[in-house]
Copies of this chain bind each other. A is one copy, B any other.
Amino acid sequence: MSEKDDFDLQLFLPYLLNQAAEESSLAFQRVYKSRYGMLRTEWRVLFHLGIYGRMTATEIGQRARTHKTKISRAVQRLAERRFLRRDPDERDRRVEHLELTPTGLAAYRDLRAVAQECDAWLVRDLSPDETGQLRRLLVRLAG
C-alpha cells in the first residue's frame, strides 16, 4: 500500500519553474500593484512600450507570447489611466499604434529601476557566473 515513492517533485521542471517564478515575482508584484495598481500583463505591456517604443497590440502579444484578449484588456486599463496613448494607423484602420505618455514613461522608468533592484536581490546568493549560467539555460529552455 504505502510503499515509498522516489519521484522527486521538487526537481520536476514544470513544478520547480512555477515555484521559482511565483516566488521571484512576489517582490516586484508588490511594487507595481501598490504603487500603480497594475496587473501582471499591464506592467509587461508598459515595459514593452518603454523598451521597444511604439508598437501595436498584436506585436506586443507576439513578443510576450500573450493572448490578444489579455493584451486588449491591459491596454484598455493603461489607456484609461493615461499611461499610454492609442494612435490609429492611417493605412490600415484596424491597427492601433500604442505609445507611452509622459506619465507612462515615468512609471516605466520607475518600475525599471525597481525591476533591476529585484533582479539583483534575487540572485544575491549566486555568483555572477552562476547567474549568467542560469539565465542562459532558461533562455534555451523557454526560447
At the interface, is chain A mostly helix, strand, loop or mixed?
A: helix
The answer on a CB contact under 8 Å between B16 and A142 is: yes
CB contacts (< 8 Å) of A10 on chain B: these are 139
Closest partner residue, chain B, to A28 (CB atom): B14
A residues whose Cβ falls under 8 Å from a Cβ of B = 2, 5, 7, 9-25, 28-29, 40, 44, 47-48, 50-54, 65, 112, 115-116, 118-119, 122-123, 125-126, 130, 133-135, 137-142
Give me 26 A-to-B residue pairs in the complex whose CB atoms sit less than 8 angstroms apart, sorted by A's number: A2-B53, A2-B54, A5-B52, A7-B50, A7-B51, A7-B112, A9-B48, A9-B51, A11-B135, A12-B115, A13-B119, A13-B122, A13-B123, A13-B135, A14-B29, A14-B122, A16-B138, A16-B139, A20-B142, A23-B142, A24-B141, A122-B141, A126-B137, A126-B140, A134-B134, A134-B138
